[in-house]
C-alpha cells in the first residue's frame, strides 16, 4: 500500500513538473511569435490607413486646383491679359522692367482710394474675381492675376506689391515659360484669416503663358475634415506635418504651434513611406509615415514655400507634407495580451487536470486506463470546439477582408464618378460666367437664352444619369439571377470611361449574348479590379499606344492588354492574398485575390492568367457552370 502511494505521488509530481515546463515554454514561444506577427500586421494596416488619409487629402487639394483652373479659362481673363501683354510686349526688356518698377513704387505709396488701386481692384476682371470669392467666402482670401511679365492686372483687394515676377511662387509657376501649378504653403495669411495654401496656376493661350493666377485658399476646414474622419475610426491619431517636424494640423491643437518628437524627424526627412516603434514620454508608440504626393493628370504640380514674407508668417521652408499616424503599443498588443492570458488560464486548468489524473493513476491499472480514455474524449471534444471556433473566426476575418476590398473598389468607383462630373461642372460654371459676360455687353437675346437653357439641361441630365448608373452598379444582389455577361462589362466600361479617356486608353469590345446565372454586381466588381490593374500597368510602364481588348463568347471572358505583361514569379502569385507589385502605399494585394474568390467560389467559374506578345491575358471561364 505504501509503495503504491509513493508511486502515485511520484507519477503526479513528474507529470506536474513536465507539464509545467511544457506550458511555460509553449506559452512563451507562442507569445513571442504572436506578438511579432501582430506588430507586423499592424505596421501594414497603419501604413494603409496613412496612405488612405493621404489619398483623401490629395482629393481635397485637387479640388482647390481644379477651381483655380476653371477660373483661369474664363474668356474675360484671357481678354484682359492679352490687352495688358500687348501694352508691355513692344517695350525693350530694360524699359519694360523700369516701367513695372515705377508702377510698383506708385502702388506702394498709394492708399486704397488712389486711381492706380481703384483701377486694378474695380475693373470688370477684378469684379469677376470678387464674384468667385463670394461664392466660397470661407475659403478664398485674395485672388489676383498678373500678366506674363509679373505686373498685376486685377485683384480682389490692395496687395502689398504690384510687381510679382521676382517672388518665389511666381517664378515656380512660370517655370521659365513652360508653366506649372504651384502650391504655396504660406502658413497663416490675414487675407484668408487662417491657414492658407496659395494655389498658383499659369494661364495659357495657344500653348504660351499669358499670365499667372494666384488664389489664397483657407484649408483649415479641409485638413480638419480629413483628420477628424480618420480619428473617429479609432485606428490611431492622424497628424499632418511638414518634413522638419512642424505640425500643420492636429486635432484640438493650433496649427504650427507644436512639433513632432525629434526622434521622428529622420523618418520624415527620407520623404518616403516608413513605420517604426519609438518612445514618447515613456510610452511606446507605433508610428507610420506617408509623404503627400500631389498629382493631377496632364499637369506638373509643385509644392513648397518660404518661411516668412511681408504678407504671411509660418510658411513652408521647401518642405513637403506627411501623413503621420501614432498608435500606442498598448493598444496594438491589447488583443494579443488578452489571448495570451486566456491561453494561460486554459493551460493552468489543463495542468491541474493532468496532475489530478496522474494522482489517481496509482490506484489501479484498470481505473488508470478508464480515466485516461475519458480524459482523451474530453480533450477531443474541447479541441473540436476550439477548431470550430477558430474556423468561425477565420471566416469572419475573410469576410472583413472581402468588405475592405469592396470598399477599395467603391473608392475607385467614386473616383470614376468624380472624373465624369468634373467636366460637366466646369461647363456649367463657364456658361454661367459667359451669361454674365454677355449681359455686361448687352448681347443677351431670346436665342442665347434658349441655347443656355438647352445646353445646361443636357449637362444636368447627363449628371443625373451618372448617379443612376452608379446606384445600379453597386446594387447588392441577394439571389442568383440570369443576366447577359456583356451588360455587366458595358456597365464597368461606362463607369471607367472618363479615367480611360484621360489616360488615353482605348477599349476594343467583341461580345455575344451569352447569359450567366449568378451575381451581376460581383462580376462587375471583378471586371473593374482587372481593368483598373491594366490601367495602373499602363501608367507605371509609360506605354504610349494603350489598348485593352475584351472578348465575350460562349460564357468565356478574355481581357487582354498591351502593358508589357508580368514576370513568371508575379504570374505565379498574382491571385494570392496580400501579394502586390505596386509601390508602398499604392496597393493592398487584395484586388485579384477577391476576383478569384468571386469567380471560383461565388460563381463556380475558372480564372487564369498568362503573358502574350505585348502584355497580359486574363481568361474567366463560366462554360462549365
Instruction: Report pLDDT for 3.
Output: 46
Which residue do the cell numbers 514561444 mark?
29
CA atoms of 473 and 519, how far apart (whole Å): 12
Share of the chain above pLDDT 90, in %: 34
**Phi/psi of residue 509, nearest 5 degrees:** -125, 135
Task: Enumerate helices (H) and strands (E) in the chain, giving the number of each.
Answer: 16, 18
Using CB atoms within 10 Å of the CB of residue 406, give its burial: 0 to 12 exposed, 13 to 18 middle, 19+ buried.
Answer: middle
Please answer whether residues 279 and 285 qualify as being in contact, where contact means their C-beta atoms are separated by less than 8 angstroms: yes
Please answer whether residues 522 and 594 qualify as being in contact, where contact means their C-beta atoms are separated by less than 8 angstroms: no
Which of 76-85, 129-138, 384-393 has the least mean pLDDT?
A: 384-393
Q: Locate 153 and state its grid cell.
A: 492686372
pLDDT digits (tens, 9 = 90+) for 147-192: 999 999 999 999 999 999 999 999 999 999 999 999 998 887 665 5
More confident residue, 469 or 537: 537
Supply angle C-alpha 335, 336, 342, rounded to 5: 90
At 77, the pLDDT band (50, 70, 90 cuts) reads very high
CA atoms of 292 and 240, how far apart (whole Å): 9
Kind of pairing between the strands at 208-218 and 515-518: unpaired
The mean of the pLDDT values for the chain is 81
At 368, the pLDDT band (50, 70, 90 cuts) reads low
Please answer whether residues 608 and 590 qualify as being in contact, where contact means their C-beta atoms are separated by less than 8 angstroms: no
CA atoms of 271 and 452, how far apart (whole Å): 49
Please answer whether residues 372 and 358 qualify as being in contact, where contact means their C-beta atoms are separated by less than 8 angstroms: no
Task: Give the residue from 540, 531, 528 showing the smallest Cα distance to 581.
Answer: 540
Instruction: Report pLDDT for 5.
Output: 46
Which residue do the cell numbers 515546463 mark?
21
Kind of pairing between the strands at 321-328 and 505-511: unpaired
Task: Give the residue from 554, 536, 510, 498 showing the smallest Cα distance to 616.
Answer: 536
Please answer whether residues 623 and 555 qualify as being in contact, where contact means their C-beta atoms are separated by less than 8 angstroms: yes
Instruction: Report pLDDT for 404.
Output: 55
At 362, the pLDDT band (50, 70, 90 cuts) reads very low
pLDDT digits (tens, 9 = 90+) for 298-336: 889 999 888 765 555 667 888 899 999 998 888 877 755
Please answer whether residues 275 and 286 qualify as being in contact, where contact means their C-beta atoms are separated by less than 8 angstroms: yes
CA atoms of 173 and 150, how far apart (whole Å): 11
pLDDT digits (tens, 9 = 90+) for 381-413: 676 767 667 656 655 555 555 555 555 555 555
The Cα-based distances of 513 to 14, 76, 196, 252, 494 in angstroms read 75, 52, 56, 58, 18
Which of 83-97, 183-197, 218-232 has the least mean pLDDT?
A: 183-197
Residues near 76 by beta carbon (within 8 Å), at least 6 away in sequence? 124, 125, 128, 433, 437
Please answer whether residues 322 and 265 qualify as being in contact, where contact means their C-beta atoms are separated by less than 8 angstroms: no
Amino acid at each position: 500500500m505504501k509503495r503504491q502511494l509513493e508511486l502515485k505521488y511520484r507519477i503526479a509530481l513528474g507529470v506536474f513538473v513536465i507539464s509545467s515546463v511544457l506550458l511555460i515554454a509553449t506559452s512563451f514561444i507562442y507569445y513571442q511569435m504572436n506578438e511579432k506577427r501582430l506588430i507586423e500586421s499592424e505596421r501594414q494596416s497603419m501604413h494603409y490607413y496613412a496612405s488612405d488619409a493621404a489619398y483623401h487629402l490629395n482629393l481635397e487639394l485637387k479640388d482647390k486646383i481644379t477651381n483655380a483652373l476653371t477660373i483661369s479659362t474664363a474668356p474675360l481673363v484671357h481678354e484682359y491679359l492679352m490687352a495688358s501683354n500687348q501694352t508691355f510686349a513692344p517695350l525693350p526688356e530694360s524699359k519694360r522692367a523700369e516701367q513695372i518698377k515705377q508702377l510698383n513704387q506708385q502702388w506702394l505709396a498709394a492708399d486704397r482710394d488712389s486711381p492706380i488701386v481703384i483701377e486694378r481692384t474695380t475693373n470688370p476682371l477684378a469684379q469677376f474675381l470678387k464674384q468667385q470669392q463670394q461664392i466660397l467666402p470661407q475659403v478664398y482670401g485674395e485672388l489676383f492675376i498678373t500678366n506674363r511679365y509679373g505686373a498685376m492686372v486685377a485683384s480682389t483687394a490692395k496687395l502689398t506689391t504690384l510687381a510679382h515676377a521676382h517672388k518665389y511662387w511666381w517664378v515656380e509657376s512660370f517655370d521659365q515659360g513652360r508653366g506649372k501649378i504651384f502650391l504655396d504653403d504660406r502658413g497663416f495669411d490675414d487675407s484668408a484669416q487662417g491657414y492658407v495654401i496659395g494655389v498658383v496656376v499659369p494661364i495659357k493661350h495657344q500653348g504660351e503663358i499669358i499670365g499667372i493666377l494666384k488664389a489664397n485658399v483657407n484649408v483649415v476646414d479641409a485638413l480638419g475634415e480629413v483628420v477628424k474622419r480618420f480619428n473617429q475610426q479609432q485606428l490611431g491619431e492622424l497628424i499632418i506635418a511638414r518634413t522638419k517636424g512642424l505640425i500643420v494640423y492636429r486635432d484640438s491643437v493650433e496649427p504650427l504651434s507644436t512639433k513632432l518628437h525629434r526622434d521622428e524627424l529622420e523618418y520624415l526627412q527620407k520623404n518616403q513611406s516608413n513605420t517604426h516603434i519609438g518612445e514618447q514620454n515613456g510610452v511606446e508608440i507605433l508610428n507610420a509615415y506617408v509623404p503627400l504626393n500631389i498629382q493631377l493628370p496632364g499637369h506638373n504640380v509643385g509644392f513648397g514655400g518660404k518661411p516668412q514674407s511681408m504678407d504671411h508668417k509660418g510658411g513652408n521652408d521647401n518642405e513637403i507634407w506627411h501623413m503621420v499616424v501614432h498608435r500606442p503599443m498598448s493598444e496594438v498588443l491589447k488583443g494579443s495580451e488578452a489571448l495570451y492570458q486566456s491561453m494561460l488560464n486554459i493551460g493552468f486548468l489543463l495542468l491541474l487536470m493532468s496532475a489530478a489524473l496522474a494522482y489517481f493513476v496509482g490506484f489501479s491499472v484498470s481505473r488508470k486506463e478508464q480515466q485516461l480514455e475519458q480524459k482523451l474524449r474530453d480533450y477531443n471534444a474541447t479541441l473540436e470546439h476550439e477548431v470550430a471556433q477558430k474556423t468561425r473566426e477565420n471566416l469572419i476575418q475573410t469576410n472583413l477582408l472581402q468588405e475592405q476590398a469592396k470598399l477599395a473598389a467603391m473608392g475607385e468607383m467614386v473616383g470614376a464618378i468624380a472624373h465624369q462630373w468634373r467636366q460637366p461642372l466646369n461647363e456649367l460654371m463657364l456658361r454661367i460666367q459667359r451669361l454674365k459676360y454677355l449681359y455686361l455687353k448687352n448681347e443677351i437675346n431670346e436665342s442665347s437664352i434658349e441655347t443656355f437653357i438647352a445646353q445646361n439641361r443636357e449637362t444636368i441630365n447627363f449628371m443625373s444619369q451618372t448617379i443612376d448608373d452608379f446606384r445600379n452598379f453597386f446594387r447588392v444582389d441577394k439571389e442568383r439571377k440570369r443576366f447577359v455577361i456583356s451588360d455587366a462589362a458595358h456597365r464597368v466600361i461606362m463607369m471607367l470611361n472618363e479615367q480611360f479617356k484621360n489616360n488615353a486608353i482605348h477599349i476594343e469590345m467583341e461580345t455575344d449574348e451569352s447569359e450567366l446565372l449568378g451575381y451581376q454586381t460581383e462580376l462587375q466588381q471583378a471586371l473593374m479590379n482587372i481593368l483598373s490593374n491594366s490601367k495602373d500597368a499602363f501608367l507605371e510602364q509609360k506605354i504610349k499606344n494603350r489598348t485593352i481588348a475584351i472578348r465575350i463568347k460562349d460564357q468565356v471572358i478574355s481581357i487582354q492588354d498591351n502593358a508589357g505583361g508580368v514576370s513568371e514569379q508575379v504570374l505565379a502569385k498574382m491571385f494570392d492574398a496580400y501579394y502586390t507589385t505596386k509601390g508602398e502605399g499604392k496597393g493592398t494585394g487584395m484586388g485579384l485575390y477577391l476576383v478569384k474568390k468571386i469567380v471560383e467560389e461565388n460563381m463556380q467559374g475558372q480564372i487564369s492568367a498568362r503573358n502574350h506578345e505585348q502584355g497580359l491575358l486574363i481568361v474567366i471561364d463560366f462554360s462549365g457552370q
